[in-house]
Amino acid sequence: MKKPDITENHIHSMQETKFVNMFDIQYQEGKHYYDVTRRAKKVMVALKTDEEFLNLEPDASNCIVIVRTPGEEPRLVLFYEFRYPTGRFLLSPPAGLIDPEDKGKKDATLITAAREIHEETGIVVKPTDRLFEVSPLVFSTPGLTDECNALVCAVVDLDDLSSLTQKGAEGSECFNGFCLLNKEQAEEVLRTGRDEYGNFYSVYTWMALIYFVTGMWEE
């Protein structure tokens, strides 16, 4: 299928701020499509060539964290984070933007994942633990934004859970406790589509749950 040709002439800025931009992609005369993104105009995904698209770098890492402790079943580490657009604490996995100084590095997504896991859970990913990409890039909601995340899995061995902490919250981050799920509990959250309080959750939480319960993380 032939795709519409989009050039910088088709893209018009509606609002540009320090944190988010909104562009009008006028793909045909009188036809408009809107993109809300952290990206500047010159690096918008819509302007990438096919080769550039195939080598696109993600904006962030979204983490699937599985802990193994002696005598216990493996557990998926999720937590409750306040999500301002919903006005609720939602069941969430660790995640964070790739720092500008890490952009272009071969292991940028893994560097970001290890940092965010430590900041948001207190867990230090050790050299003896497994840290690997599940997917190099997935789009969040491509009908609204060109932002995208890598999916990274960390399988961490701990003596106990005493290292878990949410004191590393920064900026707008607001946490309210952990939710560690074994396989049976994770399957129930998947089956109902709700957390233990009856609330819905994000698609990235669903991804973490499904990856965990299918056992795809196991060697």
For the stretch 118-157, pLDDT in tens is: 999 999 999 999 999 999 999 999 999 999 999 999 999 9
CA angle at 144 for the pair 140 and 146, rounded to the nearest 5°: 55
> What local confidence, expressed as pLDDT, does residue 92 receive?
98
> What local confidence, expressed as pLDDT, does residue 69 receive?
98
Query: With respect to CATH, is domain 60-213 assigned 3.90.79.10?
Result: yes
In the chain, what are the helix, strand and coil shares in percent, each to the nearest 5? 25, 35, 40
> What local confidence, expressed as pLDDT, does residue 1 receive?
60
> What local confidence, expressed as pLDDT, does residue 87 receive?
96
Query: 10 Å Cβ neighbour count for 20?
Result: 13
> What local confidence, expressed as pLDDT, does residue 168 receive?
86
> What local confidence, expressed as pLDDT, does residue 47 receive?
94
pTM equals 0.93
> What local confidence, expressed as pLDDT, does residue 62 receive?
98
Q: Helices in the chain by DSSP H: which ranges?
A: 50-54, 108-121, 183-192, 203-213
Residue boundaries of the structural domains of the chain: 8-54, 60-213
> What local confidence, expressed as pLDDT, does residue 179 receive?
98
How many residues in total does the chain contain? 219
Counting as low any pLDDT under 70, the low residues of the chain are 1
> What local confidence, expressed as pLDDT, does residue 205 receive?
98
> What local confidence, expressed as pLDDT, does residue 148 receive?
96
